[in-house]
Structure 1
Amino acid sequence: MFSSHDRDRLRKLAQQQLEIHNSPVNQARIALWKRHNAFRGTRPMIHIELDTFADELIPARLECESPDARRLETELLQKTINLTEFDDDWVVPDYFGVEWEQWFRPFGWDVRTETAEDANGNRLGHCFVPVIEELEQDEDKLRPSDFGVDKEATRRHMELAQEAFGDILPVKMIMSSPPVVLTQQIVHLMGMENMYIAMMDDPERFAAMMDRLAEDYLRFFAYLAENDCLYPTTGFELLRQGSLCFTEELPSTRPASVKEIWGFMDSQETVSVSPQMFHELIFPSYKKVADAFGLLSYGCCEPVSAVWDDVSTLTNLRKVSISPWCDEVFMGEQLRGRKTVFHRKPSPNFLGLTGTLDEAAIREHFDHTLQAARGCTLEFTQRDVYTVQKDPARVRRYVQLLREEIETHWQG
């Protein structure tokens, strides 16, 4: 049970979310997303990902007192701040979504890290403590992966939301696109150096390890399906790498298998690997998992242009990340006229560095993308910004600059 103060605060935010959902601007942008994801859009879509700088904006707005209420309050605020403060194209749903609390432990191991701190106790970074160092001697450590769902914790969270404001804002179970990042899991267990050495010294065992991990993820998805833990990914649900799932290509009823949902994959950890080595040791296991999804979003910060020969063969690929390290011109040539979104991730430096915005440099950066992606279906997601100097107006101006450049220079 919540205090009357906390309950009133949550109900007020729930009512505000419903009103914002029904607002003309939100409804118009929902329609834009649907056309965009169907490759019938009229302009590029824009999203500023809040996650990495949320601590600068959300805590100061919290008014609830209990931890459970503050968690719900935070989730409600995060649903609307993009539209109300940034004026990007992120849209507000007419429900409060709850996702299963689940876990996947690769080969049954917990990830161990060591963290450095400065004189003030602030974390500066971390390194992974290897569980597996050499594949031949540690082969017995490649046990079946452990996974599951904490239904009790999930249902408690859902019941708290329902009790607080479910009569105002419907509460329902949802799911985001499942992320499968095989090489990240390997790095977490081996460390980067050990992984690279294993790829060179013991490629057959390395490829076999990758395949076993891919098979474990497929078993995990089968477990989710058997336990009624799969939900549609056809609307407001998060599509990994900062996008939305709106689509008519997948069923909007409860999916029977992972083949009926969006998925996400990337391989940032192999940026130093040659395209040939990626093709031989990495891509086969990636393709095995990718083919299991109905639709796929691929890539993060890695330059996908370097391994496009492989990635381009994924027939369910609908969005591909064009990071600051990617060859934009090349990818524009490859995606022009193709039903795969040129999902641009601009450099975070322009928004995240201290001082005033360098508007001329920002416009030039955007214009390069608008030129490279002409004739493509283009989407911008600004990620990896860790500070906006606690100033949402700074973000709003950044979005305005992008809208102006799109209006002036976009050739769809």
Structure 2
Amino acid sequence: MSHKDVDIVRELARKYREIAADERNEERRQRMSDTNDLKTGLRPAVLIDEVPWHEFASYPEMALVCEDPFLRGMEEYFRRKLFQWEHFQVDMVAEPFYPVGKSFSSTGLGIEIQENIVKTDEKNNIVSHQYLDVLATEEDLEKIKPPVVTLNEEQTGKNLQLVQEVLGEVLPAKVVGTTIYCAYWDQIPRFRGVETVLYDMMDRPEFIHAIVRKFADWHMRYLEQLEQWNLLEAHPSLLHCTPAYTSELPGKDYEGKTRLKDVWFRGMAQMLNTVSPQMFVEFELDYMRPLMERCGLVYYGCCEPLDSRIPYLIQIPNMRKLGVSPWSDVERCAEQLGSRFVAARKPNPALVAISTDEDEVARETEKTILACRKNNCPYELVLKDISTVSGKLDNLVRWSKAVQKTLDKYY
């Protein structure tokens, strides 16, 4: 590592330390925690995540100059945080440390995805996929092996020491664990293709059950090993874009080793939006429920509309937060969720894709506000899945201002 690279990262860390010390961070943490604790009447948190960062590479403050790969990663982390705080902050929280992830590996599923890809933007990770069927028979299914998770404490220690040496006394470093993300219906189609799976639900239901059972068993073994090796994070700020702060986790008997019951579970089944609610229960919820019940609280849903699934999902005892996607009927969702669950509202990213119409953003935001206030439903607003802003930073800036201005009318 060159002194030049270290000086660059250290200077960025100094700037980051200043925003992390801003008193607004603590107010936002508490408000998000209160929302997840089901306190009602609060101003909802507004976050922006899954940003197309490559479209801002031309901005001078986003130019990466470190040569060392490790320091370049740190540089990118700080530049993105500072850029977002400056331009589209909304309710972003800057934590007062640099996170160092616990190092571990997994043997995986034992099978590989085979696909054809079409790209429209070489720098964008959002691409079109055509998946080939590598799980066509019972024999293929036997290729899936139970996972073996291996902890690498030595590597974690080396990474922590390196970060501490780079940052010095400028900013603390903190070792953090992983969060749970369980979505085997995001995985299965990647090994078979969406149409193939949907046809087999009708023509070969027992085979689909065998596949789902295999994936559910794999995930249970995986989660148990994360718990065994103390790889779970007890105090995450985010759970895949959504605020994770809550006074209820970890458990009151927590003593340092993070158990499954101390953490959030996150699940989804986006492609099953095309099947009936009964088939959703049969092929997803009946298999997912045992995993959910091992954890402290559950957050479910992503881009799929859950309007017709909510009656089944809220029967899960530890369900706490459900996704309300742009394709959901927000009034119908808020009515069903009431004050017993958090509505994780996802505004439509299409509103920032080409240009931003503040009036349209205000209408969408107000519809969510009125629905949740009417039903006394705690909620949040998280703009995510932003494939593009057409290179226009102003799209996110204008969206942020329009949402905050609309909220100001009610809070």
TM above 0.5, one fold? yes
Aligned mates of 1:80, 1:263 — CA distance in 2: 30
Partner of 2:337: 335
Question: Counterpart of 1:43?
Answer: 43
Aligned-pair identity in percent equals 27
**Aligned-partner Cα distance in 2 for 1:166–1:133:** 54
**1:99-158 superposed Cα distances (whole Å, 9 cap, x missing partner):** 235555664212232213569898852222321124x45343343345545556554443
Question: Closer, same or farther in 2 for the Cα pair 1:154/1:58, shift >3 Å?
Answer: farther
Q: 1:199 to 1:192 in 2, by over 3 A?
A: same
Give how far 1:46 is off: 0.1
Q: Is the 8 A contact 1:133 1:194 kept in 2?
A: no
Corresponding position of 1:5: 4
User: 1:261-340 to 2 correspondence within 5 Å?
Assistant: 261-338=263-340, 340=341
1:386 and 2:405 are equivalent in the alignment: no
Q: Distance in 1 between matches of 2:120 and 2:389?
A: 22
Paired position in structure 1 for 2:75: 73
Alignment of 1:9-408 (within 5 A): 9-40=8-39, 42-49=42-49, 51-57=50-56, 60=59, 61=62, 62-102=64-104, 107-117=109-119, 124-134=127-137, 136=138, 138-145=140-147, 147-149=149-151, 154-233=156-235, 235-236=236-237, 238-240=238-240, 242-251=241-250, 254-338=256-340, 340-353=341-354, 355=355, 357-374=356-373, 375-408=376-409
Counterpart Cα distance in 2 of 1:150 and 1:115: 34
Q: Distance in 2 between matches of 1:247 and 1:119?
A: 39
> Which residue identity is paired with 2:110?
G
Structure with more contact order per residue of length (Cα contacts < 8 Å, sep ≥ 6):
2
Q: Distance in 2 between matches of 1:409 and 1:206?
A: 48
In structure 2, relative to structure 1, the CA distance for the partners of 1:309 and 1:161 (3 Å cut) is: same
In structure 2, distance between residues paired with 1:122 and 1:45? 28
Change in Cα spacing, 1:27 to 1:226, as seen in structure 2 (3 Å) is: closer
CA contact (8 A) 1:322 1:343 kept: yes
Once structures 1 and 2 are overlaid, which stretch shifts more, 313-322 or 384-393?
Answer: 384-393
- Cα–Cα, structure 1 residues 370 and 166, in superposed 2: closer, same or farther, change >3 Å? same
In structure 2, the CA distance between the partners of 1:73 and 1:275, relative to structure 1 (3 Å rule), is: same
TM-score, scaled relative to structure 2 = 0.89
> Which amino acid is 2:234 matched to?
P
TM superposition score normalised by structure 1:
0.89
- CA distance, structure 2, for counterparts of residue 153 and residue 189 of structure 1: 32
Asked if the contact 1:108–1:146 (Cα under 8 Å) also holds between the matched residues in 2, the reply is no
In 2, the alpha carbon distance for the partners of 1:119 and 1:26 equals 35
Quote the offset at 1:311 in angstroms: 1.1
CA distance 1:172–1:286, change in 2 (3 Å): same
User: Which residues of structure 2 form unaligned runs of 5+?
Assistant: none
Aligned partners of 1:57, 1:150: CA distance in 2, in Å?
Answer: 35
290-299 vs 380-389, which moves further: 380-389
Any conservation in 2 of the 1:176–1:239 contact (CA below 8 Å)? no
Aligned residues: 401
Task: Report the RMSD for the aligned CA atoms in angstroms.
Answer: 2.5
